Amino acid sequence: MGTGTGRYRLVIFGIVILVAVFSLATVVLAAAGPAGDTPGRYIVIFDDEDAKQGTKQFIKQKGGKVLADFRIVSGMTVEIGADKVSGLKKLKGVREVGPDVKVYALDTELERSWGVKRIGAGTVHGYNTGSGTSVAVVDTGIDYTHPDLDANYAGGYDFVNNDFDPIDDNGHGTHVAGIIAAEDNDSGVVGVAPGASVYALKVLDSSGSGYLSNIIAALDWVFIENQNNPGRWVVNMSLGSSSGSDALHAAIIKAYDAGIILVAAAGNSGRPNGKGDSIEYPARYPEVIAVGATDSLDVRARWSSTGDLLELSAPGVGILSTVPGGYASYSGTSMASPHVAGTAALVLSGESLTDLDGDGSVNNEDLRFLLRQTAEDLGAAGKDNLYGYGLVDADEAALPVLAAGTISGTVTDSSTGIGIAGAVITDGTRSVNTDESGNYVINDVPPGEYTVIVSAPGYQSASKTVTVQEALTSTADFILNESVISQATVDSIKYATIGGKNSAAHLLVTVSVVDGSGNPAAGAYVSITLCLDGSVYSTNTGTTGSGGTVSFKVPNAPPGTYTTTVTGVTAEGLTWDGVTPENSFVKN
């Protein structure tokens, strides 16, 4: 999996979670844990909290001890003789007993840095540095004395030594933390979110090894802290395993349901040709953003894991960042993941996050949707197995929300000069009607360029390009000529799915326009608003062909119920009747 020349092959016990100290590397699985009465570490999961007390008494009677008691899931870590495990499994309320697996960290590679600039994070720092957000680095700890990290370090815990001093005695965690939040202090390097607070949750020791239970305990720690500062937490896990764990997944689900953003390295087990599904755990869990690595030419690193569950890509080859005592360049999806975690911190700190999925709240689902929608598409068009939705784009995802502007004007009759009442004005998203004097105002228009279309019964439609500036009013007056030809009608709106992958198939919306005699209306300029589950999903414009139809393609449309509203039909010699036929489509 790694890209260095000095890779190791590890023989370990049970399920493995592999952490790339400098890039994720290959492991070999061997047979399971201690035999006879040899004490071993085990993770116990319960059906409910009531079963814990009886289990603790059993463990004490059998000469064992409780090492950790989880809150994020009903469970704990215990040390007990292997010959007592069968009895432990039989206790009332015990759902699962499994080995507390060792985790490892591996090799290194030095090159040049370029990642933060490539994703556009530097252009965001003038108005957003990620302040007010918290990023947990689940790793080997952090060198909190480093001059590029000391101001942003906010605390944490050492789950290896069970104390409050999570100093990094390995280097990997400090490198990851620097990518996320190295200070903008005119020296060294700068992170994606240099104003974010970073927390060191040390789960690996100086040799880069630790236990699965430490990772669960780290998620448990974040879960409790999130209750004090909800909706502002990001967790970066630059680690991976080819095998999953029910206990770990249960903790991840609990953290995700609490609104915590979870980001993880996809893994370095990909084939050079990109074939196969090699996404590792925990990135493989649907609650986690799986991140692959690209080089400075935006090409997937040959070792970066691939598969349908890959969500985003980020720089991961030759990334310069902080290490204890200085700086170094490492490669791996371990380096790509913190680029996305830092971008998530920028989004949480800024104003760009809104209720994108229309569920009435702003949460981690909306943030993931925003990162996908703003990603720079790489490889095949749309989402693919090599790059996911594309390269994370910090300056697009964390754009500031500008004050809205206004479009206003008057619509008059060309022959009389009198204002036309009831004319329909649309900017492609918002629609209003003129008053009795022919005046109109479209409020709350975001800054940008719009095609404003006006239509009125008995008149030929007209359009103008209008530029709206922040907090200003733009004027667009219209003089309409009477229509002497038949009326235009939207005859039908049809839906179809094409291409894409599974639920992310493309959606095709076809609008048919006819004239008053029922003949196809060719050359009609059609504007539509597409809604998903009652909320605006996109706006589109197009021109009908010789058959009177125009099709709008929605790439990788998510599942849900779609409806289309025609907001304008403009055609020479035709007047649209303003009616949209009833329509809807359920995409699974």
Q: Are 416 and 332 in the same domain?
A: no
Q: Are 152 and 215 in the same domain?
A: yes
Q: Are 264 and 154 in the same domain?
A: yes
Q: Domain range spanning residue 436?
A: 405-480
Q: What confidence score (pLDDT) does residue 436 get? A: 96
Q: What confidence score (pLDDT) does residue 17 get? A: 30
Q: Are 258 and 186 in the same domain?
A: yes
Q: Are 355 and 475 in the same domain?
A: no
User: Which of these, 287, 274, 183, lies nearest to 237 by C-alpha position?
Assistant: 287
Per residue in 518-573, pLDDT tens?
A: 889 999 999 999 999 999 999 999 999 999 999 999 998 999 999 999 999 998 87
Q: What confidence score (pLDDT) does residue 438 get? A: 97
Residue 188 has pLDDT above 80, yes or no: yes
The model's confidence at residue 322, banded by pLDDT at 50, 70 and 90, is very high
Span of 32-46, 163-177, 234-248, 287-301 with lowest mean pLDDT: 32-46
Residue 286 has pLDDT above 80, yes or no: yes
Active-site residue set? 139, 172, 334
Give dist(CA 458, CA 480) in Å, integer.
Answer: 10
Per residue in 193-251, pLDDT tens?
A: 999 999 999 998 888 777 889 999 999 999 999 988 888 999 999 988 888 789 999 99
- Residues 368-389 have a mean pLDDT of 96
Q: Are 465 and 500 in the same domain?
A: no
Q: Are 357 and 305 in the same domain?
A: yes
Tally the domains of the chain.
4
For 535, phi then psi, to 5°, come to: -115, 145
CA atoms within 13 A on the CB side of 437: 5
Q: Specify which residues 515 forms β-bridges with.
A: none
Q: Specify which residues 409 forms β-bridges with.
A: 440
Q: Are 372 and 330 in the same domain?
A: yes
Q: What confidence score (pLDDT) does residue 354 get? A: 83
Residue 349 covered by a domain = yes
Q: Are 146 and 235 in the same domain?
A: yes
**Location of structure tokens 């090894």:** 209
258-283 in b/e form (b: 16+ CB < 10 A) is: bbbbbbbbbbbbbeeebeeebbbbbb
Cis peptide before 338 (omega within 30 of 0): no
User: Which of these, 276, 395, 400, 279, lies nearest to 337 by C-alpha position?
Assistant: 279
- Residues 574-583 have a mean pLDDT of 92
Residue 14 has pLDDT above 60, yes or no: no
Q: Are 131 and 198 in the same domain?
A: yes
CA atoms within 13 A on the CB side of 55: 32
Q: Are 96 and 108 in the same domain?
A: no
Q: What confidence score (pLDDT) does residue 401 get? A: 67
Q: For residue 550, what is the domain's CATH number?
A: 2.60.40.10
Q: What confidence score (pLDDT) does residue 206 get? A: 86
Residue 240 covered by a domain = yes
> Which of 397, 429, 444 is the last residue in one of the domains?
397
Strands (E), 164-209: 197-202
The model's confidence at residue 327, banded by pLDDT at 50, 70 and 90, is very high
